[in-house]
Amino acid sequence: MIDIDGYLAVLGVDRPAAPTAEALWALHRAQVERVAYETLDNQLGRPTGIGAAESVARILRGRGGYCFHLNGAFAALLEALGYDVTLHRAGVQDEVEDPAGPGGDHLALTVLLDGERWLVDTGLAGGMYEPLPLCEGSYVQGPFTYAMAPSTVVPGGWRFTHDPRGAFTAMVFAPEPVPLSSFAAKHAHLSTSPESGFVRVFQAQLRDAKGVDMLRGCVLRRIDAEGTDERTIDSADDWYDVLADVFQLQLSDVDAAERAELWHRVHAAHQEWEAAEGR
């Protein structure tokens, strides 16, 4: 069981009377606006599991997560509200589809609504603002243009292509339903391996109707119709202010010593990156 009313309170959405399209769109927009894509616990060395109840509890205490947490929690909420939700094995990919298919580093959701199936994904790192139909074409959401097309590799699968300014190129998902538990091994690797980008580099992203805010290490970017605004955060106080003010991340469970250590790691990684780039 999950705390449905508590979850809806975080999203600022009233409990819908029925599982309608209007309610689904409102829930999706609210989740990507209010619940950040973030890897904070990985950098703290205390990653949580991906069970739906545990991920919902993360959200209720003012945190977010990445796809397994965000979409796992959102799927549980939608199911509790009466939606027909399917979890899919997915993978973030480059311009050319991987012939092996989706690698399982992403959890995608679809919802069957009034006979039509929709991609519903609140864990795409600043991607979709609203659901997209499983129908080939281009779709504009705010300043970004996305594409949907059948996978050229996975029979019955679909490929989402991000806007060129997005944090990744594309995402492919297979049609078969899978349980949330099937992502446990991949999550363990992504959240604990020294080779994982989710461990090496802090990331936070939050989408809204007009654009996306992205924090990677110490670099804060705002991407919208006006272009890209970028600045480097130079102090721990400013960095933590950005987490709270821009990404709505509440860190009441992180003590002063952990904050100092986390900033040291993030800042050191940024300095290494600058040195490698010759800046």
Q: What is the pLDDT of residue 274?
A: 67
- Asked if 141 and 65 touch (Cβ cutoff 8 Å), the reply is no
Q: What is the pLDDT of residue 279?
A: 60
- Determine the pLDDT at residue 238: 96
Taking each helix axis as running N to C, give the angle between helix 67-80 and helix 21-34, from 0 to 180 degrees, rounded to the nearest 10: 150
Res 198: pLDDT: 87
pLDDT at residue 275, as a whole number: 67
Please tell me whether residue 48 adopts helix, strand or coil conformation.
Answer: coil
Over residues 178-231, the pLDDT tens digits come to: 999 999 999 999 999 989 988 888 999 999 999 999 999 999 999 999 999 999
Q: Cα–Cα distance between 175 and 221 in angstroms, integer?
A: 34
Closest CA to 120 of 154, 83, 93: 83
Amino acid 178: pLDDT: 98
Q: Which of 108, 64, 90 is nearest to 213 (CA)?
A: 64
> What are the pLDDT digits (tens) for 161-174?
999 998 889 999 99
Query: What does the DSSP assignment read for 119-185?
Result: EE-S-SSS--SS-EESSSEEEEETTEEEEEEE-SSSTT-EEEE--TTSSSSEEEEEEEE--GGGGHH
| Three-state DSSP state, 216 | strand
